[in-house]
Structure 1
Amino acid sequence: MDSTETRREWARRSGEYSPEYYAYYGPDETSETIRRILEQFVGRDASVLELGCSSGRHLSHLYDDGFDDLAGIEINDDAFDVMAEHYPDLASEGTFYADAIEDVLEEFDDGRFDAIYSVETLQHVHPDAEWVFAELSRVTDELLVTVENEGAETESTDGDVEYVDEDVPLYYRDWNRVFTDEGLDEVVVESSKRDTVRAFRS
């Protein structure tokens, strides 16, 4: 599966891991973790971008807590109809890009966003599109937060791949290495049962 096929799978995703699926479950502990880290390092006045925002459950949590300069990139067009239904204030006040991450990032100026975060999204970026990691470093002015599945802690899984529902690839990466190689400094690392949370200062 190449990068185009991977994007196509997410663009038409329905059922599990779809925009409706995430709206049903709403904000969760990860939403609160992101809010806490952003509040600590950049504050509520920060311009914030979520990569793969889906129907907006994490952004809605930020919005409800007083963050008001919010943006999101989402490849699945259905997400914005779901967002308008479940989080209408966010849908009307935020700025959203209905496209693939790879097709949006290059449009942004250097340091365009004070903070950028990703929740289980960068782990689906195909190796052909790894250049987006340098772009993320470029457009992040202060803080980049990754919440991604990095594989088993007991073995080296950097570069390994597994499949979600046998059709969507998940690429394990060492996100510390990826973004420190881009010149960012890691300031937070927290492990949970499913994901590792990392925050990097620009």
Structure 2
Amino acid sequence: MDPSDNRRFWAERSGEYSPDYYAHRGPDETSEAIRAALDGVVAPSDPILELGCSAGRHLAHLHDHGFESLHGLDINEDAFDVMAETYPDLADAGTFHVGAIEEVVEEFDTDQFAAVFSVETLQHVHPDATDAFAEVARIASDRILTVENEGDHREGDPDVNYVREELPLYYRDWDSVFGDLGFEQISAEPTKRDTLRTFRPRER
């Protein structure tokens, strides 16, 4: 699957793994873990960006717990219609962008967001679009959180796996990715099926 096909696949996704699919599952333990990682580090008024926010269940959890400046980015335009129906308070309060990560993040200012996070989203960025990771590091002033499926290379997993034989999932060493971009990992903890890693900038 080339980059344009990859983007089209997610932009038009319906059914399983679509915005509607995730919206009705609601906030979960991952939402809580993200909030816990940000509490006491990011002020309620500090801007936070979720990459691949879908219908916004994780942002809705942050909004319900007092975070005020919430931003989301998703390639699937339908995500924001679903958000308006499912989480109307978030839809009214937040700022949202439609487009591919690698295209939209270039438009943001350096250090524009106190925290940038993703949940099972960066794992789908095509290998030809990984320059986007440097842009993520550029726009995050205090924290980057990744909640991604990393596979297990000790077990011989390939660099890419296919979910349902159609969804490409790229396994990456996020400690190395963001370590090479000026961030240090300060925690790593397992979630139900992923790893939540928290990064902060080294001295700039």
Question: TM-score band, normalised by the shorter chain?
Answer: over 0.9
Structure 1 residue 165: deviation in Å? 2.0
Give the 3-state SS of the residue equivalent to 2:80 in structure 1: helix
Give the 3-state SS of the residue equivalent to 2:54 in structure 1: coil
Separation of aligned partners in 2, 1:162 and 1:59: 28
Deviation readout 1:50-96 (Å, 9 max, x if unpaired): 00000000000000000010000011111111000010010011000
In structure 2, do the counterparts of structure 1 residues 114 and 155 end up closer, same or farther at CA, with 3 Å as the change threshold?
A: same
Give the 3-state SS of the residue equivalent to 1:41 in structure 2: coil
Give the 3-state SS of the residue equivalent to 2:175 in structure 1: helix
Structure 1 residue 155: deviation in Å? 3.5
Q: Which residue number corresponds to residue 83 of structure 2?
A: 83
Q: Greater shift after overlay, 176-185 or 40-49?
A: 40-49
Matches within 5 A, 1:70-149: 70-149=70-149
Structure 1 residue 152: deviation in Å? 2.1
Deviation readout 1:7-59 (Å, 9 max, x if unpaired): 11100111111111111100000000000101142232221000000000000
Deviation readout 1:165-194 (Å, 9 max, x if unpaired): 222200000000100011101111102341
In structure 2, do the counterparts of structure 1 residues 138 and 156 end up closer, same or farther at CA, with 3 Å as the change threshold?
A: farther
Separation of aligned partners in 1, 2:8 and 2:43: 35
Separation of aligned partners in 2, 1:121 and 1:50: 10
Note the residue ranges of structure 1 that are not aligned, 5 or more in a row.
none
Separation of aligned partners in 2, 1:66 and 1:130: 33
Number of residue pairs the alignment of both structures matches:
201
TM value normalised by structure 1: 0.96
Structure 1 residue 153: deviation in Å? 6.3
Q: Which residue number corresponds to residue 62 of structure 1?
A: 62
Q: Greater shift after overlay, 50-59 or 185-194?
A: 185-194
- Runs of 4+ aligned structure 1 residues displaced above 4 Å come to none
Separation of aligned partners in 2, 1:152 and 1:194: 12
Amino acid aligned to 1:90: L
Matches within 5 A, 1:1-202: 1-152=1-152, 154-155=154-155, 157=157, 160-202=159-201
Identity of aligned residues (%): 59
Over the residues paired in the alignment, what is the CA RMSD in angstroms?
1.2
Give the 3-state SS of the residue equivalent to 1:25 in structure 2: coil
Q: Greater shift after overlay, 31-40 or 145-154?
A: 145-154
Q: Greater shift after overlay, 73-82 or 147-156?
A: 147-156
Amino acid aligned to 2:42: V
Separation of aligned partners in 2, 1:30 and 1:151: 18
Separation of aligned partners in 2, 1:138 and 1:17: 29
Note the residue ranges of structure 2 that are not aligned, 5 or more in a row.
none
